[in-house]
Amino acid sequence: MNDNTSSLRLQPIELEPCAKRRKRDDEIQQHGLLWFEDGNVILITEDRVGFKLHKSVLSLHSDLFKDMFILPQPVESAEMDGCFVVHLQDASSGMATLLKLFYNHNSSYSGAVSFSLIQDVCHLSHKYQVERWRVDVLMRLSHCYPQDLASQRHPHIANTPLTLPIHFQYWTLDSMNVVNMAIHYEMKAILPSAVYAASQASMTELVQGVSDGRWDMDDLELCLKAKEMLAFATEELFHQLCRASLPECKGVPESSSSLLVQSCTHVLAKSWPYFHADKSGTPFFVAHHIWFYRIRKMVCSKCRPNYDNVFRQQQGVAWKRLEDLCTI
C-alpha cells in the first residue's frame, strides 16, 4: 500500500484549541489549486499543506465534516486568516485527490485511474464518510473483481483484451492490497475474487508483504488457505475431467502427419503437469487458461461439450469453497 494509505486504521481529526500551534500554522504551504480567498475553513495536513475551503462544500459531500460544523466551536479554537483551522492526520496528496472531487476538479479521476489513486479515495472516502465516492470505488473494484470464477480478469495475460477502470502495476500484489481493503471496509462482494487473484502471488511475495507492513497476518493466512484449497480443487478438476470421456469418443490424431489415433483421456493424461502443483504454485489459475486456450482444442468434438460441463461444474464447486473461506 502506498505511503498515503499505509495504514487502514482511521486516524482522528483534531480541532485545534491550542494557542501554541498558531505559530506553527503560519508555516504551512498553501495548496495552489485548493486555496480559495473566500473560504471559511482551513484544513492542514500532516505534511503542513493548507487547504482554504468552504464549509458548505465540505458539508455537502462529507457527513463527517457536516456533523463537525454543526457543533458549536470552542472559544479557543485556532484560527488563521479569520478561518477555523482543522488539523488532519492525512497526507496532502491523498486529501488533494478527495478535495478535488468535491470541487469537480476530477479530470484525473475520469476513465481508468491508477490503483494507488483508488487506495487514496477508498481510504479517505470511508474515513470522511463520503458516500458518493465510496460507491464509485466499489463499482470500479467490482468491475475488476467479479463475483464468479469464470469472469475473472487477468490483466497480465497476453492477448487478453481488457478495458478496466483501474490500472494495476502488479496485479497479484495489488490484489493482496484489495483483500486488505475489502476486509477492513467490509466490501464483501469483491473479497473472494480478490483473494483468488492474490493467491496467484508466490509464497515469498506474500510473506514479504507482511514484513513490509503492506498487509497483516490475517490477510496472509486467508490467501495461504486459498492457495491450498485451489491446489486441491485443481487436482480434483483433473480427475473429474479424466472420467468425462464419452464411450463414443472419436479420439484425435497423435500429430497432423500421423494415422495413429489417441483417446481424449490420453490427451488429458499428458496435461497432468499443468494441473499438478504444490501449494506455492498457481494451479487453478493455470488450469483455467490451459484448458480454454490449449487442451480444449485438442480433444475431439464429441467429448468437448461434456468436458466443458465438467469444467464449469468444478469451477462452481471451487468458487463456493472460496466464498465460504472468505466469509467475513
Which distant-in-sequence residues (6+ apart) come within 8 Å of 289 by Cβ?
154, 157
Hey, how many other C-beta atoms are within 10 angstroms of the C-beta on 46?
Answer: 13
Q: What is the pLDDT of residue 49?
A: 95
Q: Is residue 113 part of a domain?
A: no
| pLDDT above 90 (res 165) | no
Chain centroid to CA 206: 15
Which distant-in-sequence residues (6+ apart) come within 8 Å of 269 by Cβ?
242
| pLDDT above 60 (res 21) | no
Q: Is residue 88 part of a domain?
A: yes
Q: What is the pLDDT of residue 2?
A: 44
Reported as a single tens digit per residue, the pLDDT across 170-196 is: 778 899 999 999 999 989 999 999 998
| pLDDT above 80 (res 142) | yes
Q: Is residue 298 part of a domain?
A: yes
Residue 118 is which amino acid? I
Q: What is the pLDDT of residue 282?
A: 56
Hey, how many other C-beta atoms are within 10 angstroms of the C-beta on 268?
Answer: 23
- Report how far residue 174's alpha carbon sits from residue 169's, in angstroms, rounded to the nearest whole number: 7
- Report how far residue 276's alpha carbon sits from residue 104's, in angstroms, rounded to the nearest whole number: 52
Q: Is residue 166 part of a domain?
A: no
CA angle 307, 314, 203 (to 5 degrees): 120
Name the more confident of 50 and 148.
Answer: 50
Q: Are 268 and 241 in contact (CB under 8 A)?
A: yes
Reported as a single tens digit per residue, the pLDDT across 202-229 is: 888 888 888 888 888 999 999 989 988 8
The residue with cell 504551504 is 29
Sign, CA torsion 151/156/159/162: positive
Give the domain-ending residue among 56, 83, 104.
104
Hey, how many other C-beta atoms are within 10 angstroms of the C-beta on 306?
Answer: 16
Three cell numbers at 135? 460507491
Structural domain for 297, as ranges: 231-325
The residue with cell 506455492 is 280
Reported as a single tens digit per residue, the pLDDT across 78-115 is: 678 788 899 999 999 999 999 999 998 776 677 788 89
Q: What is the pLDDT of residue 279?
A: 47
- Provide the number of structural domains found in the chain: 2
- Report how far residue 225's alpha carbon sits from residue 202's, in angstroms, rounded to the nearest whole number: 13
Reported as a single tens digit per residue, the pLDDT across 248-289 is: 887 777 666 666 778 888 888 887 776 765 544 555 666 666
Q: What is the rounded average pLDDT for all residues in the chain?
A: 80
Q: Is residue 146 part of a domain?
A: no
List, in sequence order, every residue forming a beta bridge with 86; answer none if it has no partner: 15, 43
Here the CATH number for the domain that contains residue 94 is: 3.30.710
Q: Is residue 90 part of a domain?
A: yes
Q: Is residue 145 part of a domain?
A: no
Give the domain-ending residue among 83, 104, 125.
104
Q: Is residue 174 part of a domain?
A: no
- Report how far residue 121's alpha carbon sits from residue 109's, in angstroms, rounded to the nearest whole number: 10
Does this model's pTM top 0.85? no
Q: What is the pLDDT of residue 283?
A: 57
